[in-house]
């Protein structure tokens, strides 16, 4: 049943704005879920503004396979909030979300993973789950954390761009916080083994030739001064059907760029992320460890009760 109600959502650092004029209610069932959720309210959107870099030709939207993102409820939200509605309806006892992806080996292809509301599956990550500082500014919308140090092929780089990092599961690629034409960018390309193709990071060889174990490591400071967390992401997870033109030679364009900082779908393929809307806390752990296509492990599943969080159950 449709109702005439307006909605407006801004997310991904205000890069994406959508609006609509109708709501509806339906039963939601997820693949691998533990049952249907009745009477879920959602907005029907018919207008969108998307900030996408192009060459001035207004070439329209281009989509890559990204990850479902479910943003928290804020005072800027004008419309139904799935996470908040679950909490208000008593479907979950905490305002938490955890998201993970399974390990992927073999040929390049689709990744599998999962999301839990009001619960956590501790088998989907390894090592500690570390709280990361939230550094969101007053005008920003999204999940923002400090920029990381970056390690590849035994070389560690301290990015020199004066910025914070947006975690955006809907972004097709990552942007590394090196200042344009700066010494940090030059050192990165000189020592990492990657190739600079007009600001796009490329692997020097075919996509299929990327070693299965070649990884890039992101190291973030923890909320506690004594803690930090390192996330390993396979370089092959950045090879996502982004074809290089013939004149580029035998290189594999990665969904990775220089300038600013966005940690998008490729980054989250290696990270287990936990959010708690109650206190706006963020935590990361090493993900990408569970078997491809696996569901929730009942023996490792913990329900997060009222007053608890992802790291206190």
Mind listing the pLDDT tens digit for each residue in 160-211?
999 999 998 878 889 999 998 889 999 999 999 999 998 899 999 999 899 9
270 class by beta-carbon count within 10 Å (0-12 exposed, 13-18 middle, 19+ buried): buried
Of 101-115, 169-183, 247-261, which gets the smallest average pLDDT? Answer: 101-115
Please give the average per-residue pLDDT across 222-242, as a whole number: 92
The answer on pLDDT for 275 being more than 90 is yes
- Model confidence band, residue 112 (pLDDT cutoffs 50, 70, 90): confident
pLDDT of residue 78: 79
pLDDT (mean) for 279-295? 93
CA–CA separation, 188 and 195 (whole Å): 10
Burial of 179 (0-12, 13-18, 19+ CB in 10 A): middle
Q: What is the DSSP letter of 278?
A: T
Is the model more confident about 18 or about 291? 291
Contact 234, 288 (CB under 8 A): yes
DSSP for 102-151 reads: ----SSS----EEEEESEEEGGG-EEEEEEE-----TT--SEEEPPPEEE
pLDDT of 65 reads: 47
pLDDT attached to residue 64: 47
Residue 43 has a pLDDT of 81
Residues 31-78: tens digit of each pLDDT: 666 678 888 887 877 777 766 656 566 655 555 444 455 666 666 667
Tell whether the model's pLDDT for residue 129 goes beyond 80.
yes
At residue 7, the pLDDT reads 80
CATH 2.40.70.10 fits 2-303, yes or no: yes
Rounded distance between C-alpha atoms, residue 143 and residue 281, angstroms: 9
Average the pLDDT over 254-280 and give the result.
94
pLDDT for residue 55: 59
Higher pLDDT, 18 or 299: 299
pLDDT, tens digit (0-9, with 9 covering 90-100), for 90-101: 889 999 999 999
Longest dimension (CA), the chain: 59
């Amino acid at each position: 049943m449709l109702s005439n109600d307006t909605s407006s959502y801004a997310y991904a650092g205000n890069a994406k704005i959508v609006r609509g004029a109708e709501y509806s209610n339906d039963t939601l069932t997820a693949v691998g879920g533990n049952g249907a959720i009745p009477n879920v309210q959602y907005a029907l959107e018919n207008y969108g503004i998307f900030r996408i870099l192009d060459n001035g030709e207004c070439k329209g939207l281009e989509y890559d396979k990204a990850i479902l993102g479910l943003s928290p409820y804020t005072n800027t939200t004008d419309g139904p909030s799935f996470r908040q509605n679950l909490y208000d309806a008593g479907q979950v006892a905490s305002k938490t979300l955890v998201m993970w992806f399974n390990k992927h080996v073999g040929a390049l292809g689709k990744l599998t993973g999962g999301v839990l509301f009001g619960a956590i599956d501790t088998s989907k990550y390894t090592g500690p789950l570390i709280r990361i500082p939230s550094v969101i500014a007053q005008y920003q919308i999204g999940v923002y954390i400090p920029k990381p140090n970056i390690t590849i092929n035994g070389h560690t780089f301290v990015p020199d761009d004066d910025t914070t990092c947006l975690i955006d599961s809907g972004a097709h690629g990552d942007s590394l916080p090196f200042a344009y034409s700066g010494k940090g960018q030059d050192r990165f390309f000189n020592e990492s083994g990657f190739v600079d193709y007009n600001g796009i990071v490329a692997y020097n060889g075919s996509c299929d030739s990327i070693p299965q174990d070649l990884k890039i490591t992101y190291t973030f400071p923890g909320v506690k001064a004594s803690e930090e967390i390192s996330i390993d992401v396979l370089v092959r997870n950045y090879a996502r059907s982004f074809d290089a033109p013939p004149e580029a030679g035998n290189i594999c364009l990665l969904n990775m760029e220089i300038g600013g900082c966005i940690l998008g779908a490729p980054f989250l393929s290696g990270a287990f992320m936990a959010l708690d809307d109650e206190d706006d806390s963020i935590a990361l752990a090493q993900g990408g460890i569970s078997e491809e296509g696996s569901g929730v492990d009942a023996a490792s599943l913990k329900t997060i009760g009222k007053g608890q969080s992802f790291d206190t159950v």
